[in-house]
Amino acid sequence: MLFPMRIVSVLLAQPLPEPFDYILPDGMEAEEGAFVVVPLGSREVMGVVWGHKDSSEHARLKAVSAVIDTAPPLPKSVRDFIERAASYSCASLGYMLAMTMRSREALEESPVARLVRPTGAPPDRMTPARDKVLVAATEPMAAAELARKAEVSSGVVKGLVDQGALEVVEQEVDLPYPEPDIDMQGKTLTADQQAAAAELSDLVRSREFHAALLDGVTGSGKTEVYFEAIAAALRDDPTAQVLVLLPEIALTQAVMGRFKERFGAVPAEWHSAAGSKVRRRVWREVANGRARIVVGARSALFLPFPNLRLVIVDEEHDTSYKQEEGVIYNARDLSVMRAHGAKATVLLASATPSLETLANAQSGKYRHLKLRARPGAARLPDILLSDMRESPPEKDRWLSPPLVEAMDQTLSAGEQVLLYLNRRGYAPLVLCKACGEKLKAPDTDSWLTEHRYTGMLICHLTGFTMRKPSHCPHCGAEGALSGIGPGVERLAEETRQRFPKAKIEVFSSDTTRSNEALMDLVNRMERGEIDIMIGTQMAAKGHNFPNLTLVGVVDADSSLKGGDLRAGERTFQLLSQVAGRAGRAEKPGRAIIQTYAPESPAFELLAAGDRDAYMEFELAQRELLGYPPFGRLGAVILSALSSEDADEWAREFGRAQPNAGGVDVLGPAPAPIAVLRGRHRRRFLVRTDRNVDISAFLSAWRDRVKAPSSVRVTLDVEPYSFM
Ligand code: ADP
C-alpha cells in the first residue's frame, strides 16, 4: 500500500509553460513561494514552490533536493503578477519567473568581508611606515587595500594586527541602503504642483489600487510632484516600498542626484547592465523589504517587492518600455497590472502621454493630473518649421540656411545648441558608385552603416561589424564605395566646417560607451563647456541643460516614415521632448524643425503648440480603423531556415487560425526585415475588438500548430515594432 506523500509543484526559471511536481521529503518544509533546488534531468536547478498537493501517485516523481532558507519566499503578490503577466504577454510561466530571478547569488546571505580598523591602542614602537598605516585607516577596510593606500608592504599591516593596534572585524559585503529621510524639505511647489501632489498622496494613502496620469509639459516639475507622492507613501507605512521606472540609463545619474537632494540618500538602482554584485545587493534588499526606493529600468518591475505601494513610470510614452527580445512585454502596461495586484498606486508621467494612456485618462479610468506651465521664469520653447523645399541646404550638406543663422545667433549670445539626428555613425547607407550595390549585413535585410571614427561598417540590427573594404564586394571596383546620407559623425564634420571655433561633441551610444564617458559629457554640457552638442535619441530625453536655448531637428521626416500606426504619435512625442530641452532656465528657447512636409499634422500642430488637437486627430484616425486604444493588436511572427519553409508554415498557420468573432487577421506577408541572421520571416497582424482577449486568441492559435523546432513562433501583444 502506498502512503499519501506530500507533493509540491515547483515552477522552474526556464522556458516551461507550467510547474513540475516533486516529492517533499519527510522533515523538509517548504511554504508556497519558497525557493528550492530540484533535479531536472541530470542537473540541479532552482525553482519556486507554486503549490502543494496531496497525492499517492508519486511513483515516478523525484524529490526536492533542498529548500533555500536564506531568502524570504517569493510573495504571493509577485507570484500572482507572474501568472497574469505571462498570460497577458503570451509568455511561458517559467520564462516570466526567470525575469524575477535575475540574481542567483541574491538567494544566499551576503558574503562577509574581513576588514581591519584601529583599536586606539598604540603599537610597541612607532615607525614611519606604521604611522602611515594608522593615518590611512580612516574606516574599516581590507588589509591589502589599507597597505596599498598607506603605500607600505602588507607585512606592516599584519604587524599592527599582531600588536593589537589594528583589529579584524567582519562586515557584510552588501550593506543595506540608507533609509530615505522623508522629513527633508522639497522645493516650494506651485499651485498646480501642490494640487497634483495632494491628490496623489491621497491615492497612495488609500491603500487601494489607483492609476493616475501626471500630464505636464516638459520641465513643468513632474519629478518634484512625484517626490511628494513617494514621501507620502513612505510616511504612511514604515515598510512601504516605491519603484520608479525610467526609460533610459542615461537619465538615471541625474535623477539619482535629485533623489539624494530630496531624501538625503541615493536609492537602490537597478538595470540589467549593472554588475552581478549590484544586482545581488538590490535584489536581496528589495526581497527583505529594506530597499525602500528603487530606481530602475523596465526589468526592475520583476523585483520581489513584498510591500510595493507606489509605482512611477516616468516618460510613460517611451517606446523603450517595450522589451522586444526574449520575453516580449510592455513594462508600462505590466506596471498597471503589478500595482493592481498589490493594491498600490501607479503613476504614469509624461509631457506627451501615449494615446492609450490619454484615452484611459479621458474616460476616467485613470485620474488625470495636469501641470500647465514651467515653474518660475522658464517658458516652453517656440517651435519653428523650416521648409526644406523653400530653403534647402547646399549639396551634400544637411543644415538649412535658417538653422545655420539661428545657430550663429545663439553661439554669439554665448548660449548652447543641440542638433538632433537619430542616426549613429557617419552615413546610414554605403553604396557602390560603380555598380549601385548597397552593402548589407550577411543573411540580413538591413543596410550597413558607415562609422568613420572607427573605420567600420556596422549593422545596427544584428551588431555585425566589418572594416570598410577598399573594393566593392559585388563588382570589385576600387574606391567606389560611398556613404550616403547623414549620421551624427557627418553632421559633426559639417558643423566643424561652418563653426570652426565652436566646441562640438557627439552624444550617441558610440561616444558614451561607459557610464563615466556619458556622465562626463552630460556634466560638460551642463557646465557650458560644449557649444554644440550633436546627439541621437540619447541626448533627446530628460536632460536639463540651463544654457541650451536652440534645438535643431535635422531630419524630422525620418521618424514619420516606415508607416506603422504609431509613427505620427511617436514623432510628435519625440520632437516635443527634443524641443523641450531648450529654454529650461530663465533664457527663452526655440526649436527649429527641418522638414520637407511642414503641412503634415504632426509638424503643424507641434509648431502651434497644440498637443491636444494633435491627439484628437490621431484618436479619430485610430477610431476609424479600430486600432488601439479602440481595438487591440497582436502579431504572429514565424521564422524558418529557408524561404520555402517559412512560406509553408505560414500557410499552415493561416489554415489553423481559430474561429472567433471580432477578429481580423492580415497576412501572412514577408516581414519588412524578411531575412534576419539567416532566418526567413513572415508576419500576421491581428486586430480585434476591444472586448476580445487577444492574448488568449494568440496563445490558442499558436497551440494549434505543431511546428518543428526549426520554425520559431513569436507572439507579440500590442506590438510596437512592425519589422
Ligand atoms: P519635468 O519632470 O516635468 O520635466 P522637472 O521636475 O525635471 O520637470 O523640473 C524641471 C526643472 O524645474 C528642474 O530643474 C526642477 O528642479 C525645477 N523645478 C520644478 N519644480 C520647481 C518649483 N516648484 N520651484 C522651483 N524649481 C522647480
Dist. CA 265–CA 257, nearest whole Å: 9
- 722 C-alpha to ligand 1 centroid (Å): 36
Residue nearest to atom 23 of ligand 1 (CA): 189
pLDDT for 1 equals: 44
What is the separation of C-alpha 117 from the centre of its chain, rounded to a whole number of angstroms? 41
Over pLDDT 70: what percentage of the chain?
98
Check: CB of residue 592 under 8 Å from CB of residue 603. no
Residue nearest to atom 9 of ligand 1 (CA): 221
Mean pLDDT of the chain: 92
DSSP 230-284: HHHHHHH-TT-EEEEE-S-HHHHHHHHHHHHHHHSSPPEEE-TTS-HHHHHHHHH
Contact 687/626 with Cβ under 8 angstroms? yes
Q: What is the mean pLDDT of residues 305-313?
A: 98
Residue nearest to atom 6 of ligand 1 (CA): 221
Residue 222 Cβ < 6 Å to ligand 1: yes
The answer, yes or no, to whether any atom of ligand 1 lies below 6 A from the CB of 375, is: yes
| Ligand 1 pocket residue status of 221, Cβ below 6 Å | yes
The H or E element spanning position 145 is: helix 143-150
Global pTM value: 0.89
Kindly indicate the confidence band of residue 3, based on its pLDDT and cuts at 50, 70 and 90: low
Buried b / exposed e along 470-481 (16+ C-beta atoms within 10 A) = eebeeeeeeebb
For residue 314, the ligand 1 atom closest to its alpha carbon is: 2
Q: Which amino acid is at 449?
A: T
**Using a 6 Å cutoff on CB, does residue 189 contact ligand 1?**
yes
Cα(235)–Cα(324) distance, integer angstroms: 37
Ligand 1 centroid–CA 184 distance in Å is 17
User: In which band, very low, low, confident or very high, does the pLDDT at 209 lie, cut at 50, 70 and 90?
Assistant: very high
pLDDT band, very low/low/confident/very high, at 358 (cuts 50, 70, 90): very high
User: Which is the closest atom of ligand 1 to the Cα of 216?
Assistant: 3
Predicted local distance difference test score (pLDDT) of residue 4: 64
Predicted confidence (pLDDT) per residue in 231-254, tens digit: 999 999 999 999 999 987 767 778
Check residue 562 and give its pLDDT: 67
CA distance 313 to 316: 5
Residue 335 has a CB neighbour count (10 Å cut-off) of 24
pLDDT score of 251 = 72
- 517-571: pLDDT as tens digits: 888 999 999 999 999 999 998 888 778 888 999 999 999 998 888 668 889 999 9
How many angstroms is it from 541 CA to the middle of ligand 1?
A: 15
Cα(122)–Cα(165) distance, integer angstroms: 6
pLDDT tens digits, 153-192 = 999 999 999 989 999 999 888 888 999 999 998 899 999 9
Indicate the residue type of 565.
L
Taking the centre of ligand 1 as the mean of its atom positions, its distance from the CA of residue 351, in whole angstroms, is: 13
pLDDT recorded at residue 563: 66
User: 223 alpha carbon to ligand 1 midpoint, in Å?
Assistant: 7
In this prediction, residue 582 carries a pLDDT of 86
Q: How far is the CA of 304 from the centre of ligand 1 (A)?
A: 31
Please report which confidence band the pLDDT of residue 57 belongs to, taking 50, 70 and 90 as the band edges. Answer: low
Q: Whose CA is nearest to atom 5 of ligand 1?
A: 221
Mean pLDDT of 11-25: 92
Element (H, E) at 52: strand 43-55
Q: What is the pLDDT of residue 646?
A: 96
Nearest protein Cα to ligand 1, atom 14 = 544
595 forms bridges with which residues in the sheet? 387
Residue 225 alpha carbon, nearest atom of ligand 1: 6
In contact, 399 and 494? CB cutoff 8 Å: yes
Other CB atoms closer than 10 Å to residue 664's CB: what's the count?
Answer: 11
Lowest mean pLDDT among 388-402, 532-546, 668-682, 699-713: 532-546
Sheet (strand 532-535) strand order = 382-387, 590-595, 548-553, 416-420, 532-535, 504-507
Compare 628 and 106 and report the one with higher pLDDT: 628
- Segment 73-91 mean pLDDT: 96
CA 28 to ligand 1 center in whole angstroms: 55
Nearest CA to 35 out of 81, 9, 72 is that of 72
Q: How confident is the model at residue 125, as a pLDDT?
A: 86
**pLDDT score, position 102:** 81
Q: What is the pLDDT of residues 559-604, one digit of tens each?
A: 888 668 889 999 999 999 899 888 877 788 999 999 999 999 999 9
Angle at 131 between CA 128 and CA 134, to 5 degrees: 160
Please tell me the predicted confidence (pLDDT) of residue 722.
87
Contact 261, 180 (CB under 8 A): no
Ligand 1 contact via 193 beta carbon (within 6 Å): yes
Q: How many angstroms is it from 508 CA to the middle of ligand 1?
A: 26
Distinct helix (H) and strand (E) counts, the chain: 20, 31
On the question of pLDDT at 13 being above 90, the answer is yes
Q: For residue 6, what are the β-bridge partners?
A: 54
The finding on whether 352 has its CB within 6 A of some atom of ligand 1 is no
**Average pLDDT of the residues in 427-444:** 93
Report the atom number in ligand 1 closest to the C-alpha of 378: 12
Distance 556 CA to ligand 1 centre (A): 28
Residue owning the nearest CA to atom 11 of ligand 1: 219
Distance (angstroms) between ligand 1 centre and the Cα of 189 equals 9
In tens, the pLDDT along 489-514 reads: 999 999 999 999 999 999 998 888 88
Q: Is 56 exposed, middle or buried (0-12, 13-18, 19+ CB in 10 A)?
A: exposed
- CA of 37 relative to ligand 1 center, distance in Å: 49
For atom 20 of ligand 1, the residue with the nearest CA is 221
